[in-house]
Structure 1
Amino acid sequence: MNQNVDSAVRSVEADLIALSHSIHSDPELAFEEFRSAAKVSDLLAQHGFAVTHGIVDLPTAFDATYGSGELVIAICAEYDALPEIGHACGHNIIAAAAVGAGIALATVADELGITVRVIGTPAEETGGGKVLMLERGAFDGVGAAMMVHPGPIDIIGATSLALADIAVSYHGREAHASAAPEFGRNAADAATLAQVAVGLLRQHLQPGQQIHGIVSDGGTAPNIVPARSELLYYLRAETAASLANLSERAGACFASGALGTGCTHEIRTVSPTYTELTPDPWLAAAYREQIVDLGRVPLAAEWERSRPLGSTDMGNVTNVIPGIHPVIGLDSSGAVTHQPEFAAACITTSADRAVVDGAIALARTAVRVASDPEQRTRLLEGVDRR
């Protein structure tokens, strides 16, 4: 059956590469990916998928379905970009590979007794599209969920960090910075104090904890004491429990800025909390076999946990549904994700190969799990228990 899915991907290779390049050339930010979502879903519709747009009250989310088998296999497609640097995380490759895997599995869906769902998931970079979709039932009935993400090397059992995406606002009082500074309460100073406290906290973080951020608002003019400032921060940790610990300690640092300057402050959540990736061991092992068979040399399994991939809302999915989020390698000439040079690498010949190999490996992995009686039963029983 591998030959069937391989041939199916190869037959649409030109369309998949064109899709990848088209999404790359027209980057759209979180929850605004109308053109990208349409490009992805239109190609699926051309191959017989029934497409429902705007699912679970998210206008740029969609569900494309083929077949009627008892076991539901979901392939996740991402297509949002980053501000200013576009597809520097290669979501154009993710989307095209997902389409290729979906089309390939549609050709064997009846024989395997599966339903294929390619789920369009917006707002991974910020906004937590999959978290919202999971909470609202978009993944109900799914036995296994899979996707591939590009990177400089192949990593099979890729892991990620839990993430809290927050904004910290400080509120003070305007005054003339020269004529009457004593009447002011400097919100920019509050942000500075908080950043110093966070910098000192870093020495005492637990292993796997990270904290980084920017000043998104620091005032309007040098001669006006700033009455408002804002920090945008990511807090990351290896587990949700460790993230809760970090959030408490960082919260004290943010509060110190307000206390020291006589300002007030508030912390709000920008995106839903991302949990850590928990790859399904059986699916990861099956994917490893396929990617090696395609001539790739992935990172050794014993080194995978030493290279966490930042954070992703796919982590939330894999904590509920058996799933994988492997990295498909491409030649980026030393560039890493979220660099402009990596964005440029995502439409090279190497990137185009990643689209095709990723689609084939995902489809083959789905064939393996659907064809294995023990694993098939495991996935179906997992749906019943949820």
Structure 2
Amino acid sequence: MQIYDNLKKNVNKNVDYYMSLVKSMYDNPEVGNEEFETMELLCNALCNLGFEVKKEFIVPTGFIGEYSSPKTGPTIAFLCEYDALPEIGHGCGHNLIAGIGIASGTALKSVIDDIGGTVLIVGTPAEENFGGKVSMAEAGVFDKVDVALMLHPSTHNSLGGKTQALNPIKFEFFGKNAHGCTPQEGKSALDAAVLSYININLLRQFTKENTHIHGIFKNGGSAANVIPAYASLEYYFRGETMDYVQELSKKAMKCVEGACLATETSFKSLIYECPYEDMLINYELTKLLKKKYEELGLKDIEDVDETPTGSTDMGSVSYKCPSLHGYIKIADSSVNGHSKEMAQATISSQGKAALINGAYALSSIAVDLICNDSLLKKVKDEFKKSTEK
């Protein structure tokens, strides 16, 4: 059909411009919540491409670009990530995610006046640990979105996978200083932290499958001959659902309470980063992605990974509207994620091919959904069933 040819033409016409954005982000990486220059770069690009743009949207480095057809129709959101990693830069490929998101949305914009609907390109910063999507989901950004779409660079082509819910908790312990020669006059916050660490480790035997507990000592004293009055631990509690992760967190809290009771110390806890929901898979959307990948001639397409691994703030979006979080290959399997080699791959010929193929795949999925009411209904019915308690 002509409309799909027009999508491809639009992507190919602008691909060098999109890759210049990807390269600029690669050369000037900014970590989460500090992506101010990147926000300006991408917002200027969206203005040039004909979108109505809002900067500092919901969060300081967030943005949204919008274009509405005169004809009514569904609202399709394409999500951009663009935070980098300390020292490594764009080792998770977020610069290419942004490029694919902008290219996808612009391709859909080029045909949407004929088919009806609204295009949103949403800049969601700080995916690595501060969850821009979580803040946006809580603010209602996705409440009236019909479908949210994004692709993540990888070493394989995949329809996506389940992820783990994550709850990040910091425990701070408070005791009393004393000289090491008169320890009976002190109360060791470090001892409370050590006992808490041991107690929480003992929980591992009693957790469900696909559960992870990651913990470190953040503070433990400053001199060997001084009983520490302050110590702290930082933990990630991960599991298949947020309900279970909260249950696990409560058990950990009891471990800490017991340790403080034994050492006559006190503690307080706080959420030190952003909690992430698990990713709710929409299988109707993954079927569409597989179809598009096959049409493009992409090989070795992996089905949905049913074993939850890792965490992403896209999980919060997936509980607000039907969502797709697929993967597209830009490097060989020998390349590690979160590496300088993966960052380099985003600006390689494989990265450029992934942008072209990914943008066409997402924009053509959007056209399918807009032009086929029954298909969109299937997607939304699955979402409704999945989110019913």
Q: Would you say same fold, with TM above 0.5? A: yes
3-state secondary structure, aligned to 2:170: strand
Look up the match of 1:185.
Answer: 187
1:364 corresponds to which residue?
Answer: 364
In structure 1, stretches of 5+ residues that fail to align are: none
> RMSD across aligned C-alpha pairs, in angstroms?
2.4
Q: Which residue of 2 aligns with 1:15?
A: 17
Q: Distance in 2 between matches of 1:23 and 1:173?
A: 48
* Residue number among 109, 112, 121 corresponding to 2:112 in the alignment: 109
Paired with 1:379 and 1:331, the residues of 2 have a C-alpha distance of: 31
Q: Deviations over 1:201-227 (max 9, x none)?
A: 223221111111222223233333322
- Paired residue for 1:78, among 70, 78, 81? 81
1:31 correspondence with 2:52: no
Indicate the residue corresponding to 2:60 in structure 1. Answer: 59
The one-character-per-residue Cα deviations of 1:7-48 (angstroms, maximum 9, x if unpaired) are: 111111112222112212222222221111121221111110
Question: Per-residue CA shift, 1:179-217, capped at 9, x if unaligned?
Answer: 333322222232222222222222322111111122222
Q: Is the Cα contact below 8 Å between 1:73 and 1:143 reproduced in 2?
A: yes
2:86 is paired with a residue of what secondary structure?
Answer: coil
Query: What are the residue-to-residue correspondences of 1:208-287 with 2, within 5 Å?
Result: 208-287=210-289
| 1-structure distance, mates of 2:160, 2:19 | 26
1:166 to 165, 169, 173: 169
- Asked if the contact 1:158/1:305 (under 8 Å) is kept, the reply is yes
Q: Distance in 2 between matches of 1:239 and 1:102?
A: 31
Displacement of 1:380: 8.2
| Whole-angstrom distance in 2 between the partners of 1:66 and 1:340 | 36
Task: Tell me the CA shift for residue 272 of structure 1.
Answer: 4.0
SS at match of 1:304: coil
Matched with 2:138 is: 135
Q: CA distance change for structure 1 residues 380 and 164 in 2, over 3 Å: closer, same or farther?
A: closer
Letter in 2 for 1:273: P
The answer to whether the Cα contact below 8 Å between 2:239 and 2:245 also exists between their aligned partners in 1 is yes
Classify 1:15/1:214 alpha carbon distance in 2 versus 1 (closer, same or farther; 3 Å).
farther
What residue in structure 1 maps to residue 294 of structure 2? 292
Q: Compared with structure 1, are the counterparts of its residues 373 and 186 closer, same or farther at alpha carbon in structure 2 (3 Å cutoff)?
A: same
Contact 1:143–1:379 under 8 Å retained in 2: no
- How many residues get paired? 381
SS of residue matched to 2:119? strand
Counterpart Cα distance in 1 of 2:93 and 2:189: 38
After alignment, is 272-281 or 9-18 more displaced?
272-281
In 2 relative to 1, CA 262–130 (structure 1 residues): closer, same or farther, beyond 3 Å? Answer: same
Q: Which amino acid aligns with 1:161?
A: Q
Alpha-carbon distance, 1:298 to partner: 4.5
- Corresponding position of 1:342: 342
> Offset at 1:160?
0.8
Q: 1:106 to 1:169 in 2, by over 3 A?
A: same
Deviates more, 1:179-188 or 1:285-294: 179-188
2:47 corresponds to: 45
Q: CA deviation at 1:122?
A: 1.5
> Deviation string for 1:63-115 (max 9, x for gaps)?
10112343110001111123333322211111111011011111011112021
Contact residue 284 and residue 379 of structure 2 kept, 8 A = no
Matches of 1:50 and 1:264 in 2, distance apart? 52
Normalised by the length of structure 2, the TM-score is: 0.90
Question: Does the C-alpha gap of structure 1 residues 172 and 88 become closer, same or farther in structure 2, counting only changes over 3 Å?
Answer: farther
Q: In structure 2, what is the Cα distance between the partners aligned to 1:342 and 1:195?
A: 34
Specify every segment of 5 or more residues in structure 2 that has no aligned partner in the other structure, as ranges: none
Q: CA deviation at 1:249?
A: 2.2
Answer yes or no: is the 8 Å Cα contact 1:151–1:336 preserved in 2. no
Check the 8 A contact 2:143/2:321 in 1, yes or no: no
- Residue 209 of structure 1 contacts residue 246 of structure 1 at CA under 8 Å; is this kept in 2? no
1:124 aligns with 2:127: yes
Offset of 1:261 from its aligned partner? 2.7
**What residue identity is the alignment partner of 2:260?**
A
Task: State the Cα distance separating 1:257 from its structure 2 match.
Answer: 3.4
Confirm or deny: 8 A CA contact 1:121 1:130 kept in the other structure.
yes
Preserved contact between residue 285 and residue 379 of structure 2 (Cα < 8 Å): no
Change (3 A) 1:275 1:380: closer
2:328 is the alignment partner of 1:328: yes
Give the CA deviation at 1:283: 1.5
Moved more, 286-295 or 346-355: 346-355
2:282–2:379 CA contact under 8 A, matched in 1: no
Q: Distance in 1 between matches of 2:260 and 2:155?
A: 42
> Do the aligned partners of residues 257 and 36 (structure 1) sit closer, same or farther apart at CA in structure 2, a change above 3 Å counting?
farther
1: distance between equivalents of 2:364 and 2:65? 19
The separation in 1 between residues aligned to 2:347 and 2:315, in whole angstroms, is 26
Gap change, CA 1:18 and 1:161, over 3 Å in 2:
same
CA distance in 1, matches of 2:41, 2:258: 48
* Separation of aligned partners in 1, 2:90 and 2:375: 36
- Contact 2:156–2:333 under 8 Å retained in 1: no
CA contact (8 A) 1:127 1:270 kept: no
TM-score by length of 1: 0.91
Closer/same/farther in 2, CA of residues 29 and 290 from structure 1, 3 Å limit:
same
Q: Give the counterpart letter for 2:324 in structure 1.
A: I
1:304 and 2:308 matched:
no
Does the residue aligned with 2:129 lie in a helix, a strand or coil? coil
What's 1:156 paired with?
Answer: 159
